Amino acid sequence: MRRRALFPILALPAAALSAAPAPALRVVFGVSRPPFVDERSRSGIALDLFAEAARRLGWRYEIQHAPNKRMLSLLRQGVVDVAVEVQQGEAGLHFSTPFLSYRNVLLLPPGHEAPVRDWADLAGLRVCAWQLAEASLGPQFAAARPRFAQYHEFGNQRDQVRLWLLGRCEALVIDRDLLLWHLRELVRSEPQLAQPRPETLRSLPVPGQAGLDWFVGFRDAALRDRFNEALAALRADGSYQRIVNLHLLGTP
């Protein structure tokens, strides 16, 4: 009887160890860039899409924020386990299927009628884009950039759109949905800013680029694979588009 009583006692430590929760993942997002990331509300398209995928996977995680240019470095150094909304390609890291896709357009100033077939046609204009745009837009953009009158990149694209309305940026490189979202927000927050009528907005496809995909980076390939499965399920059941529409349009 004594020998039988020992077995459940010896088994307890192993059972307790197997039930211990996995440590929380350390996840980095970019700095505030509504409607994709809003640090104050801890919400946004990127935050909410990742949260729903993590909920389905049973993941616990802790959030931090960093500028775009630091996110892959933090992941590579092991400071974080996951980096949300980055460019892929760095050796030794593992990247998801496309997480967010931007439909970048080139927005020209009202009254600008000259044809724009490639980046060189923007010579003499003040051009504004998002942070790290030059690294994403290819060698033709990099070659043309010195001929722009000015060139600025913005971590906060609200400032980019605002300066375009003020005439201090003449040509914008920006996602079409993000542009319209910021224009709507600026009507509410700064009604004194004159806005062009929607029909006067002249936007063209970005030269040589139909779209730009962003990914979720992982240090662990198995986590990446599980995330890809959850992301595919979000798209298949309509949850992905409902989250996007809620932020962009205010309705699921």
Q: What are phi and psi of 175, to 5 degrees?
A: -65, 135
Residue 7, H or E segment = helix 2-18
**Distance of alpha carbon 204 from alpha carbon 182, whole angstroms:** 18
**Distance of alpha carbon 222 from alpha carbon 130, whole angstroms:** 32
Per the structure block, which two tokens stand in for 152? 């600025």
Q: What is the pLDDT along the chain (252 residues), one digit of tens a residue?
A: 444 444 343 444 554 455 567 899 999 999 988 899 999 999 999 999 999 999 999 999 999 999 988 999 999 999 999 999 999 988 999 999 999 998 888 998 777 778 888 999 999 999 999 888 888 888 999 999 999 999 999 988 889 999 999 989 999 999 888 888 888 889 889 999 888 876 777 888 888 776 789 999 999 999 999 999 999 999 999 999 999 999 887 766
126: left (phi over 0), alpha (psi -120 to 50) or beta: beta
Tracing tokens 């224009």 back to the chain, one arrives at 183
Q: Could you tell me which residues are beta bridge partners of residue 232?
A: none
Q: Please tell me the predicted confidence (pLDDT) of residue 252.
A: 64
C-beta of residue 134 within 8 angstroms of C-beta of residue 180: no
The rounded percent of the chain whose pLDDT value lies above 70 is 90
Contacts (Cβ under 8 Å, ≥6 apart) of 64: 26, 27, 28, 29, 80
**Distance of alpha carbon 104 from alpha carbon 95, whole angstroms:** 22
